[in-house]
Amino acid sequence: MTNVIPAQPYDGRHVLADLHGCSAALDDIELIEGALRGAADAAGATVLDVRLHHFGGGQGVTGVALLAESHISIHSWPEHGYAALDFFLCGRKHDIDAALAVFIEALEPERVRANSIERGYGTVEAN
């Protein structure tokens, strides 16, 4: 008996999450890096590289995790208690909700607004 496993269409999910009213120190680059790496791990993703940039004392941090499965990014504005995240991961086995939960625990927002967009070469077939 032969099992035929069809090629999987690429069905990516891109989640944009806005975290408002964060209690955590959004200028803390080590906190941001830890959350970024923890989120990638929680998603079950493979980290290729992590790059961070600090805009200076009391100012925001930009961070991107390059993943074998695309990327996760964060940009923070400490003066507004605001952080903008995006999670782009291919395949259904990766858990973006778990990745977002890591950031929520680390950054302690009052409000979270998330948009989820389906994308990938598989998605155009339905058009």
The residues that are catalytic are 70, 75, 90
Residues across the chain: 127
Tokens of 57: 């004392």
The 10 Å Cβ neighbour count of residue 74 is: 26
Name the residue with tokens 């959350």. 35
| 2 vs 10 by CB, closer to its own copies | 10
Residue 73 is a binding residue for its own copies (CB under 8 A):
yes
By CB under 8 A, the residues from 79 to 98 that bind its own copies are 80-82, 84, 86, 88
Residue 34 is a binding residue for its own copies (CB under 8 A):
no
Residue 20 is a binding residue for its own copies (CB under 8 A):
yes
Q: Please name the amino acid found at residue 9.
A: P
Tell me the CA distances in angstroms from 74 to 30, 106, 124, one per residue in order. 13, 13, 28
Residue 77 is a binding residue for its own copies (CB under 8 A):
yes
Name the residue with tokens 């939960």. 101
- Number of residues in contact with its own copies under rule CB under 8 A: 36
Q: Which residue, among 13, 22, 14, 46, has the nearest Cα to 108 in the 3D structure? A: 22
Residues that bind its own copies (CB under 8 A): 10, 12, 14, 16, 18, 20, 48-49, 51, 53, 55, 62, 64, 66-68, 70-71, 73, 75, 77, 80-82, 84, 86, 88, 111, 113, 115, 117, 119-121, 123-124
